[in-house]
A and B are shown apart, each in its own frame.
Chain A
Amino acid sequence: NAGVTQTPKFQVLKTGQSMTLQCAQDMNHNSMYWYRQDPGMGLRLIYYSASEGTTDKGEVPNGYNVSRLNKREFSLRLESAAPSQTSVYFCASSERRGLEQFFGPGTRLTVL
């Protein structure tokens, strides 16, 4: 089993460009999450999907959109990237809310 996979691993964007971060899990988990990690801030939740077909805002949703494409896949879209979105992005999944989360390897995004 691959666990949680993310693509791409690295990305550089110019201000105003758009992109989609992809996440997939093969553990048949119901819940999936997108986090960003910034120095001195800890991990912060951007959006989550408690189950297939549902998505909800987390702590820092502004500037992002998500799609829970099916049970396996949960994508994060930046419509118009800003330098403040420079960060490391982690996708995670859990069997259901409140249980142990499994993390992907992360995407390091730089917005110039």
Chain B
Amino acid sequence: KNEVEQSPQNLTAQEGEFITINCSYSVGISALHWLQQHPGGGIVSLFMLSSGKKKHGRLIATINIQEKHSSLHITASHPRDSAVYICAVWRETSGSRLTFGEGTQLTVNP
């Protein structure tokens, strides 16, 4: 079993829908990253959080440390949100190593 699990693996939505991508992890962490990988391959950091909630535009990330779970929400989704969304965790004992989930492929249709 992977230490970082994302669900769903694939998600198709209609423009305007509210989207939720989930990330569960099985190790103690100091922080969690949400990353976006564009169809062209580039990777962009969206959020880094260790507690509570962060919001940037239409994106909201939450984390529950006790339940070892994080969610990424996209409000009023748009075709340009189509990308792979990757969850990664800084493990408490790993030193410098991020552990990555396999990603969620999101497709938003017009």
Residues on A lying within 8 angstroms of B by beta carbon are 31, 33, 40-45, 48, 50, 56, 58-59, 88, 90, 92, 97-103, 105-106, 108
Q: How far is the CA of A31 from the CA of B98 in the complex (A)?
A: 13
Measured CB to CB, the closest approach of chain B to A36, in angstroms, equals: 11
**CB pair B45 A40 closer than 8 Å:** no
Binds A, one of B10-18, B36-44, B62-70: B36-44
**CB pair A98 B42 closer than 8 Å:** no
**CB pair A42 B43 closer than 8 Å:** no
Q: Which of B48, B97, B100 touches A42 (beta carbons < 8 Å)?
A: B100
Residues on B lying within 8 angstroms of A by beta carbon are 2, 4, 30-31, 33, 35, 41-45, 48, 86, 88, 90, 95-98, 100-103
Q: How far is the CA of A33 from the CA of B95 in the complex (A)?
A: 13
**CB pair A103 B97 closer than 8 Å:** no
**CB pair B42 A43 closer than 8 Å:** no
4 smallest beta-carbon distances between A and B, as pairs? A103-B43, A42-B100, A43-B100, A97-B96
Q: How far is the CA of A98 from the CA of B31 in the complex (A)?
A: 8
Other A-B pairs beyond A45-B97, A98-B90, A103-B44, 4, CB < 8 Å: A31-B96, A101-B45, A101-B98, A108-B41
B45 contacts which chain A residues (CB < 8 A)?
100-103
Identity of the chain A residue whose Cβ is nearest the Cβ of B102 in the assembled complex: A42
Identity of the chain B residue whose Cβ is nearest the Cβ of A105 in the assembled complex: B42
Q: How far is the CA of A76 from the CA of B86 in the complex (A)?
A: 24
Q: How far is the CA of A59 from the CA of B88 in the complex (A)?
A: 15
B98 contacts which chain A residues (CB < 8 A)?
43, 45, 101
5 residue pairs from A and B, CB less than 8 Å apart = A43-B100, A90-B43, A98-B90, A103-B42, A105-B41
B44 contacts which chain A residues (CB < 8 A)?
103
A56 contacts which chain B residues (CB < 8 A)?
95-96
